[in-house]
């Protein structure tokens, strides 16, 4: 089944802020973070039901080499990314 990927503006902001934080720490680390996000989004679109529901119908996909997770919902033929948070962050910040 083909799913349409929707990234909410808040999730886009999470990604941009996190990549900038990594870039400030080390040159090109922010770019590497973005590459890992893109890789994981591709995997999610290929098999979204592979990822466990963790809370309120929200699934989590962990990012390799970074302590972050993509929080997303599968809604019929859409994948909605609602946040990209550090694994220690409280998802209640946007719930």
CATH number of residue 50's parent domain: 3.30.2310.20
Q: Look at residue 1 in the predicted model and tell me its pLDDT.
A: 72
Own/partner pairs, 43-48, CB within 8 angstroms, 24+ separation: 44/5, 44/70, 44/72, 44/79, 45/3, 45/5, 45/79, 48/3, 48/72, 48/74, 48/79
- Confirm whether 94 is domain-assigned: no
Domain presence at residue 93: no
Which mean pLDDT values do the consecutive 10-residue runs of the chain (95 residues) have?
92 97 97 98 94 94 97 95 85 55
* Domain count for the chain: 1
The verdict on residue 42 lying in a domain is: yes
The residues, ordered by sequence, that sit 6+ positions from 65 with a Cβ below 8 Å of its Cβ are 32, 36
Contacts of 26 (CB under 8 A, 6+ apart): none
Indicate whether 80 belongs to any domain: yes
* pTM of the complete model: 0.89
* Domain housing 64: 4-87
């Amino acid at each position: 089944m083909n799913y349409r990927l929707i990234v909410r503006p808040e999730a886009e902001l999470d990604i941009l802020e996190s990549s900038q934080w990594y870039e400030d720490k080390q040159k090109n680390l922010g770019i590497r973070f973005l590459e890992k996000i893109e890789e994981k989004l591709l995997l999610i679109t290929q098999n979204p039901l592979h990822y466990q529901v963790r809370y309120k119908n929200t699934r989590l996909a962990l990012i390799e080499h970074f302590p972050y997770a993509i929080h997303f919902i599968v809604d019929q033929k859409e994948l909605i990314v609602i946040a990209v948070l550090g694994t220690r962050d409280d998802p209640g910040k946007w719930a």
